[in-house]
Structure formats: structure tokens, C-alpha cells
Amino acid sequence: MRRVAFMFVIAIMTIGFLSAATITVTKPATSENVGKSGPYTIKWNKLGTQNDRVKIRLFDSTGSIKVLDIVNDAPNSGSYEWTGRSGIADGNYVILVRTKDNLISGQSGVFSLGNGTPVFQIKHVRRVTLQITKPDFEVMEIYLDDSKVLRVVIRNIGNVWTGKLELKCGIGSRNFRFNVNNGNPKRYAKNHVSDMRIPEVVTQSDVSCPNPKVLLTAKVDPDNKIAELNEKNNVQSLMYPHNMGPDYIIKEIIILQRKGLFLLIKNQGAGSGYRGPVKLKAIDADTNGGKLNYLISKPDFGIPPGQEMLVYIGNFDYKGYFRVKAEIISGQFNCESTDKRRNNKYEDFLHLLKSGDYDPGSIYY
């Protein structure tokens, strides 16, 4: 019984020694290109107690298909001179070194033979954060605020700032430029967004007709003085619908006793209105101005949006039947209305006054 136990302990120790033994193939190395002519030395490192004889095999790159028995019996010395490779097809392979008792083996990395394409194995992956060393200014938005003042939104999507930043803007045919860093070189740091109120206001002369609209433009660094990551995001343009102009219509032609002839004019525009010169005409329609012919100029005319105003035209002391034609004929309002006929108003009057005594008073425009 004791003899059996002793033999079991010896067997366990032997297995432990064998499991600690290894073979590590060092040549060919991974991705190495091995030529077909001349001797080539296959090398391996052995560790622990193992058989003193080995056999060496050539497998395909997957290590699953045997291609060639290089040698069936060679000393387990750590090297072997390999010859006779000229008949092997070009390609990628691995080499297996195994002890004669098949207990211990080692396999090389994938290498190429002849003109085979080397297989590169990535052993280490390292994240590299690239440092952006340039600014990158972009115009994010351009618009008009409620006061019809131009606004531009810009930001720096780079992470450095150098020099002075210029901004070139346009409203219609007008162009202007100015510095926007205000002496603070760090104002536009990375991802800083700035909504700038440009000291320029849209006027009637900026509007194109017909289909009222105004072209807004903005470009940072207009002369490309600053080297940026992307030079193609510096400009923004917008064709802005024009809704700030007036739309004057004649609602009524009114004759007031002791006051004279008046026009009730309304501004049905949606914007902030317009002040400027305007011409108003009122004539006798039947005689084409033979009896009644007024053409008056108002150098500073303006009515707030949505409101009406009674405008004095002149004296009216005619008796009998009259057909009056009134018209807004100023060229300042080419964009004001899509229906020009609403600028004309025809009315029939039977005037009963006996004299032309009138007083416009101060309550009228």
C-alpha cells in the first residue's frame, strides 16, 4: 500500500514538472519576410524539463492546416537550419516546434514566405488626443431684431485665439466693417458664442423691389489674416423678407363743413413705419382737374403701423355734384403694396356749402 502511494506522488510531481515546461518560437518573428534561398535559422527558447528531441512543422497562417514536415527528428537545442524552401508557394505561414513525445509545443507568429503579404498584428492601442493649435471662427446666424437692427452670432470652435478679429457686414448694397474683440483677446475662447448687435439699421433704401426683401451678409476675418482650421465657415448670408415698410391706402375722401377737403389715410404695414417725403393728389375726376386740382407735398410724412390719419388737402367751396379722385403718387412707396389700386380712392359728393370759409385747425395732419 505504501509503495502505491509513493508511486502516485512521483507521478504528480512529474506532471507538475512537465506542465511548467514551455517552448517559445522566436524566429521567424511576427510579420517577418523569409526568403526562399539559402539557409534560414529557426530559433526557439525552451524552459523546464522536456524531451531532448523535436519535430518541426510548417502550417498555413491559421495554424490549422499542415503544409510541410520541415524535420521529423532534430535536437531540442533551440535552433535549426532550414533549407529547401524554393518549392513552397509564396504566402503567409506559421511554424510549430513540438517535442517528439508530443507533450510540449510552441508556435511562431504569422510570417511571410517569398512574396507573401506580411500580416501586421497590433499589440498596443493608445488613444492620442490631438491638440488644436488654431482658431476656427464661424458665423452661426445673422438676423434682424425687433428694432430692425442687424444681429450677428459668431463663435470660435477652435481652442486658441490670436490677433484681432474683424467682421464685415452688409445690408442691401451697404457694406461696413469693424473690430469685434473690443481689446479682449480672450473674448472668443473655445466654443464661446457671442450675439453682437451691429450699429446698423435697415432703411427703406436697403429694400429691393418687387417682392420686398433685403440681403443681409456677415463674414468674420474677411481678409483671411488669421490662419484657421476651416476657412469656409466664415460667411453667412440671408435674404430677409421685408416687413418693416409702410403700406398706405386711402380709406376715405372727406369733405368737412368749414374745414375743406381731407384724405383719411391708413398705414396697414406691419413694421416700424416710414417717415419721408410724399405727394398726394386730389382732382375733379369728371373734368380731369379742371375745377379741382390739388398736388401737395409732405416732406416729413409718416403714420404709425395700423393707425389712420386725416390729412388736409385744401379748400373746398364748390356747390353741386362732384366726383373726386385722390391718389398717393410718391415714388417712395414702390414696395409698399402689391395692389397699387388701393392707393386710389374715388368718391361722389353733393356739396351744399355756400362759401369756402374753412379752418383746418390743429387737430389734423
Cβ(177)–Cβ(221) below 8 Å? no
Percent of the chain topping pLDDT 90: 14
Task: Tell me the mean pLDDT in the region 333-358.
Answer: 51
β-strand partners of 214: 240
pLDDT tens-digit map of 156-194: 887 777 667 888 988 888 888 888 765 565 566 677 777
**Percent of the chain at pLDDT exceeding 70:** 70
State mean pLDDT over 349-355: 46
Query: What confidence score (pLDDT) does residue 119 get?
Result: 52
What are the start-end ranges of the E strands in 257-319?
260-267, 276-284, 293-301, 308-314
The end-to-end CA distance of the chain, in Å, is 134
User: Which residue has cell 483677446?
Assistant: 185
pLDDT of residue 142: 87
182-230 per-position pLDDT tens digit: 556 556 667 777 788 888 887 766 766 555 678 889 998 888 888 888 8
Q: What is the pLDDT of residues 136-154, one digit of tens each?
A: 888 888 888 877 788 888 8
* Domains of the chain, first to last: 2-113 (2.60.40), 137-241 (2.60.40.10), 248-351 (2.60.40)
pLDDT of residue 285: 80
pLDDT band, residue 35 (cuts 50/70/90): confident
Q: Does residue 25 have a pLDDT over 60? A: yes
Quick one: CA torsion of 289, 258, 278, 325, rounded to 10 degrees? -30
pTM of the model: 0.39
Span 265-301, pLDDT tens digits = 887 765 545 566 778 888 888 787 777 888 888 877 7
Q: CA-to-CA distance for 160 and 186, rounded, in angstroms?
A: 9
C-beta neighbour count of 186 within 10 angstroms: 8
